[in-house]
Every structure is written in structure tokens, then in C-alpha cells.
Amino acid sequence: MTPPLHATRRTVLAAASLTALTAALPGVASAAPAVGGLPTPSVPPHGDREPAGTRIERIDGTGVVFQYGRVVPAFDGWDRREPTRGYRMLDGRWHFRFDPEDRGLRDGWALPGFDTTDWDTIDVPSSWDLHDTPGFGGYDGTHFGEGTAFQDGYAWYRTTATIPGSWRGRQVRLTFLAVNYRADVWVNGRFVGAHEGGHTPFAIPVGEVVAPGQRAVIAVRVHRRPSYTDYRTGTGPISDPLAVPWKPVDYWPYAGITRSVWLEAVPEVSIPKVLVSARDGRFEARVVVENRGGRPFTGHVVVSPGRGPRAGRTSVPVAVPAGRVAVARVQVALPDAPTWSPAEPTVLTATAELHVGPPGAGRRIDQLRTDYGMRSVEVVGSTLTVNGAPVFLKGMNWHEETAASGRSMTRAEYDHELGLARDAGATMLRNTVYNRHPYVYQWADRHGVFVMDDIDTMWLNTDQERVQTTTYGLSRALAAMMAWNQHNNPSVILWCLQNESEIDPDGAPVYRAWLTDMKDAVKAVDLQNRPVTWASNTTFDPAFDIADVIGFNEYFGYFYGQNSDLGPAIDDVHTRYPDKPILITENGTWSFLGHHGPADEHGTEEWQAASFRSHWDQVSARAAYVAGYTFWVLKDYKQRCGYNEEYNGISVMGMVGFDSTTRRLVYDAFENARSPR
């Protein structure tokens, strides 16, 4: 069997409505009428490189990620407090105003003295889509295209915070867990930095523009690229050839400051990050020490792996010149440490302290803790192994959203939705196609559920792949930040580089170079050397030799071919790559909620369930070289990609409805599917 290049649910549906998109640089879309009679916002200008200046520097044998000229810190301050640091949470009500005509910067909206008494207010975190969009969570598409869910372009956020007097002489950073899509940030009227990427945290140094004991005015201008000039018809798609993703995609681009924000103060010499690798009774920590002071620092790093008050507590010297960074390496034998596994997900907490003075008699000046697990992940021939044992992943794709909270979910909402996946017997979550809130990784660590982590590189074409690799570098930055931020989570066992992006027709040199660039970034950071994969749109991907695990999306019997074609297609891939495990990264169909009928009638719940069982049986029968199967998708999800407007933009491919409650028959079929391992 030699099947053609396979289109998927996304490319097939999108082809029906998307016209040619802008490909010129720097790519500014022309204005056109939009909802409410306001002009459709243009694509904002870009610089020559992604604005955070992301780079990986090799320091003392360790890949260290920098942004804004500083080491990217751990983003644990949203729920963890270190005794050597100061925190000021900024979550709550902020002043808020849309800026559809882009006049806020000209009119001084970032200046401290600007009067905001006539502005609206909004919760931070939240998604501005829900600010004023009645009926957002229903299936009635009568009013699709109306409300703030379709308000694009610029919006401004402002708040004030008093800087504690005790922060004098400290580094102060302003930290965001997520802003979608682009953030431009001012503090006390001074521009301090910009960020691109709607699901990746960032921390901007602001110590030079705030004063201890005084108030600071924080202004954030957020931009979301419009998807269309007419949302009801899906016409006039608008693109930004430097953004990731660069064109309309079929998940909802929830806008605003969607996750927590806080100010954090740390000593001039501090520990911004601890990287841990623990397996086979051995613990290794790389403790990054950054000296932002004016004098050289000499001291000690003291590390405890968290197995009792004295077990493995180790001190190593560290010397850091002024304005520089060093990495202290600690290795400890932990022969009795419990292994993290799905059956017993034991999470340990390591503590790194920075001391000044002689060993054993010094003074602690900073501390950073990190959670980790003792486990290994390896590819052995055609098998994916965890802790030396072959695994077969019973996976689910899922989107991070609810009708009540958008992409700013509460812990209770996460517990409920992730609990649905666990109750159905899922052993892996694919974070389609963006990084999740840190709580998700914590949840997976503590519940023994594997994670395949993703970034926003969806549906890029050859021009974008070339630009990202050769000049702009945003896709590389997203890959590096994924590996850096989720490095220590034992649940994360696979890094996913892209989803259904274009393969250039002249031998795929651009596509291969792009994937290699992202893979190199991940491997430069990840001490655990976890496998790298991606969700290809074809079984004939010319870069499969680069992947550690071959991953592809397939929709046999739905968009092309027959259900029974899947097995031969998998066998063909295995024949060409006999020493690589194969993972089905997407498969599914759809059904109208509550619509029943024959199993061969498209759109019935019986057909959706029967299609799943057919694919599962073919995949699980090949467990010797197939590492698992990932269903599309846990729950119905919102999108504004030019189809499903009659259902209010809700795709009906989920195991449960958009209400996160109503189950389809396919949920029971998935729950009853038995893993071959």
C-alpha cells in the first residue's frame, strides 16, 4: 500500500474556507470592516528577532536559557514562597480598555498620571473573550461573531502596586504566566519589554524602574491578531508571517492576561533555576547561580534531594564574577529513593541553598526548591520505555478551556476535566498544541499520568519555517522554553515540536532544518534526554529519521480511505523505520451530542465509538513497535477557523460535550479499551 500525503481533520476542513494568506514580510494586513463597524486591526510591526531575545548559552557544561539578558527563572511564585524572596501578587481587578484604533500609545495610556476613571475593569487572570459575550458556551450559533470574543487588536491593562521598602538592593522582576498573544509592558511610564507567544511564561527585570517604598504603575498593551474580516463566513483570513501560529487555527485564541501575574524580589546573587535529572538511584542537580551585583561572589551551593533532613545533603563551592552566571553541579547516590511511576507517582522536592561564608558556618542568602521524580525515559529499538519497562500510551488530546473561564481555568475546573481523562483510563495527555498552566504538570506528576508537551508551532508553511529558522527564532524560543520550564516534571516524557506543518516540495530541506533547529534547542537544555517527536500530517514525512519517536495524525475512514487501512499504513512506516517506535498522535471522528443510530451512519454516537474501536484494535495489535494511541479529543472545543459557526464555533469531536459533563458513547468505548501492556 502506498497511500498519498494524508490530509487530516484540520487541513481538509480548513481547505474549504481558507484563501491564500499573506506571505510577504513584514506582513501587515489591510484594514477592512469588522463586527461593530470598527476597522479590523492590522498586524503589529515586528523587530528583526523575537522580542525576548531568547538564547541558550553553554555554561559549565549546562545549557542555560536567557531572556531579556537574564537567566529565565523558575515560575513557581504563583503558588510557592521561598523564605529568601519577596512576592507581590497582582491578580485581581485591573483597569481595562479596548484600543481598536491603536491610539493608546500616542495618547499616553502607559503614563503614570493618565486618568483611567472612565475605563472598564477586568479580572486578571481572565480571557477578555468572556468579558461580554453572552451564550459563549452554547451550541446555538445564531450570534456567532458578536461580543468581545471577536474583539481583536489592542487592549490595555493597568494596575498599581506598592513596592515594599524591604526590597531595597534586590533584583525585581515582573512575571507573567501567560499573555495572549503579544504583550508590551511599561512600568512607571518606561517601556521595559515585549513578549510574543500566548502560552509561555516570561519575567521582565524592572528593578531599575521601581523604587522601594513607592507605588509602581504597570501598564500592559495586549495584541491579538484577528483571524478573519468576517467571522460568520470565514472569509478574509488575516495572517502574520512572523507570529506562531501565523494564521487562523482551529482552537480558540483566548486573549488577554490569561494567567497569574506577580512581582518577585530576589537577592543580587540568586538561584534562578535548578535542573534535576534523577534515575536508577542517582540524583543530579545543576544549580544556576546569577550574580547581578557589582562584585565577584564566592560561596557555596548546598543541595538536599529531599530524602530526610540529612540524606544526601551536599555542599559545593561556587564562584561567580560580577554580572556573570555559573552552574554548580551536585551528584548524590539515592539507592533507596522511590521510583516515580503511574502506579506509584512519588514526587520528591529538592532544595538548593546559596550560602556565603565558610562551609558549615555560612549564611544563607537565597533558596529555591523544585519538585522532581526518580524515573527514566528511553527509546530502545522500536520500544518506548519508562524505568526500563516498555509502555503503551493510552492517550487523549485536550484543549485547556471552559465555557465559564476560557483559558483562565480554576483549579477546580482542572481537577474536574483532567479527572474525566483519568477516569476513562487515559495514561497520557497530549498538550495540544501549546504549553499548559503549571498546575497541569503538577496534577500529572501527582496522579501518575504521562504528558506529551507541545508548543504553538501549528500549520506553519515553508516560508514561515524558513524565517523562524534563519532569522526570527520564535519557534526555537518556544521549544527551548518548553524544555526549560517543564524540565523537572517526571510526568513529561515526550517533547512535541510541531503539528501538521507544511513540507516543502523540493526535498524538504527547509522543513528538516526547522525541525532540527527546534530539536537541537530541546536537547541543549534537557539533561534527561527525553525523546522528541511531532504530529506529522503524513505517514511519508521525509524527516522521520530525525524523530526519536515517529508521530503522525491519521483519520482513516473519516477524511480518506477506510478504517481498515490504518494497520497496513502503520506496518509500512515500521518497514521503513524498524528501529523507531510509532505513536498515533491524533485520531477521531465526530458525532452530534445525543444523536443515535446505525454504527455506519456518520454523525451518530455509535459511528464515532465504532470508529475508535476499529483504530484502537489495529494499533494495540502492533504494540511491539507502536508506543500508543492518542484520541482526538477529550471534550468538544471552541474554534473560530471558518467552520462550525452553526454550532457557535464548537467542534463536536469530543468524548464529552463542551459542558464538560455530558458523555458520548465513545467515552465508554475508550474506558473499556484494554491496553496491550
pLDDT at 360: 76
DSSP state string for 214-253 = SEEEEEEEEEE--S-SBTTTTBS----TTSSS-S--SS--
Q: What is the mean predicted confidence (pLDDT) over 154-173? A: 98
Q: Rounded to an integer, what distance in angstroms lies between the CA atom of residue 512 and that of residue 502?
A: 11
Using alpha carbons, select from 210, 209, 188, 202 the residue that is nearest to residue 257: 202
Beta bridge partners of 366: 354
Confidence bin at 308 (pLDDT 50/70/90): low
Confidence bin at 635 (pLDDT 50/70/90): very high
Mean pLDDT lowest for which of 111-115, 236-240, 625-629, 659-663? 236-240
Q: pLDDT tens digit string along 466-512?
A: 999 999 999 999 999 999 999 999 999 999 999 999 999 999 999 99
pLDDT at 16: 28
β-strands 492-499, 450-453 pairing: parallel
**Is the pLDDT reported for residue 2 higher than 70?**
no
Q: Rounded to an integer, what distance in angstroms lies between the CA atom of residue 306 and that of residue 374?
A: 12
Domains of the chain: 12-265 (2.60.120.260), 269-372 (2.60.40.10), 388-672 (3.20.20.80)
Chain-centre distance of CA 171, in angstroms? 27
Q: Rounded to an integer, what distance in angstroms lies between the CA atom of residue 143 and that of residue 533?
A: 40
**Is the pLDDT reported for residue 280 higher than 60?**
yes
Number of CB atoms found within 10 A of residue 272's CB? 23
Mean pLDDT lowest for which of 230-234, 533-537, 553-557? 230-234
Q: Please, what's the largest Cα pairwise distance for the chain?
A: 77
β-strands 626-631, 582-586 pairing: parallel
Give me the helix-helix angle, 605-620 and 665-672, nearest 10°. 20
**Is the pLDDT reported for residue 215 higher than 90?**
yes
Residue spans of alpha helices (H) in 137-187: none
Q: pLDDT tens digit string along 381-418?
A: 999 999 999 999 999 999 999 999 999 999 999 999 99
**Is the pLDDT reported for residue 274 higher than 60?**
yes
Q: pLDDT tens digit string along 23-47?
A: 222 222 323 333 333 445 568 889 9
**Is the pLDDT reported for residue 309 higher than 60?**
no
Beta bridge partners of 277: 284
Confidence bin at 18 (pLDDT 50/70/90): very low
pLDDT at 358: 82
Q: Rounded to an integer, what distance in angstroms lies between the CA atom of residue 528 and that of residue 80?
A: 24
Q: Is 477 left (phi over 0), alpha (psi -120 to 50) or beta?
A: alpha
The cell numbers describing 589, all together, are 471522528
The cell numbers describing 66, all together, are 536567557
pLDDT at 159: 98
Q: How far is CA 248 from CA 37, 195, 239, 502, in A?
A: 21, 20, 7, 15
Q: Which tops the pLDDT comparison, 358 or 635?
A: 635
Q: What is the mean predicted confidence (pLDDT) over 73-81? A: 97
Burial of 142 (0-12, 13-18, 19+ CB in 10 A): exposed
**Is the pLDDT reported for residue 658 higher than 90?**
yes
Q: What is the mean predicted confidence (pLDDT) over 115-127? A: 98
Q: pLDDT tens digit string along 347-394?
A: 999 999 999 988 777 899 999 999 999 999 999 999 999 999 999 999
Confidence bin at 21 (pLDDT 50/70/90): very low
Q: What is the mean predicted confidence (pLDDT) over 112-139? A: 97
Give me the helix-helix angle, 474-485 and 509-525, nearest 10°. 30
Q: What is the mean predicted confidence (pLDDT) over 591-599? A: 97
Using alpha carbons, select from 14, 236, 34, 17 the residue that is nearest to residue 148: 34
Where b means 16+ CB within 10 Å and e means fewer, 320-349 reads beeeebbbbbbebebeebebbbbeebbbbe
Confidence bin at 642 (pLDDT 50/70/90): confident
Q: Which amino acid is at 279?
A: R
**Claim: this prediction has a pTM higher than 0.85:** yes
Confidence bin at 311 (pLDDT 50/70/90): low
Q: Rounded to an integer, what distance in angstroms lies between the CA atom of residue 567 and that of residue 571?
A: 6
Number of CB atoms found within 10 A of residue 357's CB? 13
Cα distance from N-terminal residue to C-terminal residue, the chain: 28
Using alpha carbons, select from 513, 542, 617, 536 the residue that is nearest to residue 582: 536
The cell numbers describing 505, all together, are 516540495
Q: Which tops the pLDDT comparison, 421 or 22?
A: 421
pLDDT above 90: percentage of residues in the chain: 90
Q: What is the mean predicted confidence (pLDDT) over 616-642? A: 96
Reduced to 3 states, what is the DSSP secondary structure of residue 494? strand
Rounding to the nearest 10 degrees, give the CA dihedral for residues 455, 347, 551, 482: 20
pLDDT above 70: percentage of residues in the chain: 93
Q: How far is CA 104 from CA 99, 155, 221, 443, 523, in A?
A: 6, 9, 9, 40, 42
The cell numbers describing 346, all together, are 512519588
